[in-house]
Amino acid sequence: MKTKNKLFRMYKVLSLAFSIFVQIYWYKWTRKPEAEWGKLWASIGKRLRKTLFELEGLLIKVGQFISIRSDLLPAAFIQEIQDLTDKVPPSDWNKIHEILNAEWGFELSKKVLAIEQDAIASASIGEVYKGVLQDGSAVAIKVQRPEIQSIVQTDFRTLSILIWFADHFVPIPKGFINLKVLFQELKQVIERELDFTKEKETLLYFKNRYNESDDVRIPAVYPDLCTSKVLVMEWVEGRRLTDIGAVEQLDVSRQDLARRLMKIFIPQWLETGMFHADPHPGNVLVSREGRIILLDFGMAGEISKKDAAAFQSLIESFLAKNYSKAVECLSRLGFLLPEADPRTIERLIGEWITFDPAQLKEMDLIALKLELNDLITALPIQVPTRFVFLGRSFMTIEGIVRNLAPDEELLGLGKPVFTEWLNSHGNKWSFIWRVIQSQPLFKIFHSAVEFLETPSKLEQLKESEQRREFKFAIFENRKKQLFQLILIGLIGVVTGYYLDDELIWQLSAGLTGVALAGYGVTSYKLGKWLKYMPEKQR
């Protein structure tokens, strides 16, 4: 197939990227008005979407990751690619049959009584087929797509070229996403997803985690039939939570289902350990009894102990309406850029939390979403690269919850769930302390203390700023001196060559080489220092 040809895939992606690069710079040089920029980004989004659907494979997932970065990318662009789906045409059954025989080392009939040849689900990495074992057990057999390993490696090579080009030639704004880090994280996640033994381990982790829960059901796994390319699980019947007609036929209310969903996922986002990073409607079902069914653990993220503590503090601050503490938590997690004004962010959070959802009925929701995207882009905030997959998980679940209970306030649904979790796992005294801190009397006392401490803080800030300026001056002076040595060396090389004096020529060439090396090292150190300076400031 043409789209599986390595050179064709690389050509399609690189030529698209180059044409986008040229268009953007042309618009900059010609100083196009803002309206024209909106049309350009919409056009780029459509072309990217068309190319991704044509090439399929890993690139669909790349598009999905890009589509959740509305904090960094133009609204017109995001609008075109935000509904990318990971559904691709199934492979030829004969090739799937060959993979199964090669992985199991025996004919299917020895273990599988029957298997449907039409795929139940087909995505970029794997396909799912329904089968029946010899003992009569219904199973879901997930098989890796033929040639996917080769396609992924080609796509990774293409993306690494694009990352290198963007890193060296595209003027990425300060505070923008670190493309190299995102690429490494994406590569790590996809490589993990390509190894079905990893998915089996993750599935067993979640099954053990929810072993005693009546709200969750995780399918059993058949380890003897699992390999790096085949995963065999218990067949579980369920309905999509987005199918409101089917959901309303259950004995459980939509509000209760929304709470159960939050009860399952809030601990995943707040506790140290793994979380489901791809809970789209096809992977989160509900049984007839109202139990939430979680499927497809190929994409999972992990929360560190430090980040878990910071997130817990953040949620506590929101629920206690202690917005100054919430800003402090956001800064600690890396969501605020150095130039962010804490008081402005605190005020915006307060306005957002107290927003009346009833007003939404009288608004143009599409216009509101675009306005919010513009506001987020304009603010000195960012989503740290390590939280991209967590953000994907949160926004997907938020969308399902809002669809289940559109008239309920999200914080209203989440507060009792969080409080229950806090009583069993968290520190309730910490929560009470945050409530006390949010009270007007405490704020007056805190403001007085802040006022008395302001002179010493300003002095510390002044000293810190002076040290940074001094360090920057050292780097810059060293670069100027080395640049002057390079010029002197080059003049010496030309003079020696002109006078035909080999000694002058060689000494000058040596001086130029040493100065160039020093200039490169100094520039690298300066770039590294500037890159990590915001973290040092915090």
SS3 of 54-112: HHCCHHHHHHHHHHCCCCCCCHHHHHHHCCCCCCCCCCCHHHHHHHHHHHHCCCHHHCE
- Backbone phi, psi, residue 292, to 5°: -80, 130
The SS3 call for residue 115 is: strand
Q: Which one, of 324, 300, 326, lies nearest residue 311 by Cα?
A: 326
Q: What Cα–Cα distance (Å) separates residue 438 from each residue in 135, 287, 314?
A: 61, 42, 13
What residue type is assigned to position 478 of the chain?
A: R
* Dihedral of alpha carbons 26, 30, 31, 35, sign: negative
Identify the band that residue 515 occupies on the pLDDT scale cut at 50, 70 and 90.
Answer: confident
Average the pLDDT over 268-276 and give the result: 88
Dist. CA 461–CA 457, nearest whole Å = 6
Residue with the two structure tokens 């960012």: 382
pLDDT given at position 229: 93
Kindly indicate the confidence band of residue 462, based on its pLDDT and cuts at 50, 70 and 90.
low
Does position 101 have pLDDT exceeding 50, yes or no? yes
For residue 451, pLDDT over 50 is answered with no
Most confident of 69-78, 238-247, 365-374: 238-247
Pairing of strands 216-217, 292-294: parallel
Q: How confident is the model at residue 131 (pLDDT cuts 50, 70, 90)?
A: very high
pLDDT of residue 233: 94
pLDDT grade, residue 351 (50/70/90)? low
Helices 502-537 & 440-499 angle (0-180, nearest 10): 170
Place 361 in a pLDDT band, splitting at 50, 70 and 90. very low
Evaluate whether 116 touches 129 at the Cβ level (below 8 Å). Answer: yes
Residues in a beta bridge with 93: none
410 Cβ contact list (under 8 Å, min separation 6): 398, 401, 402
Q: Which residues contact 49 (CB under 8 A, 6 or more apart)?
A: 63, 80, 81, 84
Cβ contact 242:281 at 8 Å: yes
Confidence class of residue 529 from pLDDT cuts 50, 70 and 90?
low
Other C-beta atoms lying within 10 Å of the C-beta of residue 476: 12
pLDDT, position 141:
94
Q: What is the pTM of this model?
A: 0.67
- Amino acid (1-letter code) at residue 386: R
Three-class secondary structure of residue 274 per DSSP: strand
Is residue 31's pLDDT more than 60? yes
In sequence order, the 6+-apart residues with CB closer than 8 A to the CB of 381 are: 71, 330, 335, 336, 337, 340, 345
Amino acid 174: pLDDT: 44
For 334-427, where are the alpha helices, taking DSSP H only? 342-353, 365-378, 388-404, 410-424
Tokens linked to 443:
């704020």
Query: Which residues have C-beta within 8 Å of that of residue 447, sequence separation ≥ 6?
Result: none
pLDDT of residue 155: 84
Neighbouring-strand partners of residue 231: 142
pLDDT tens, residue by residue, 386-397: 777 887 788 888
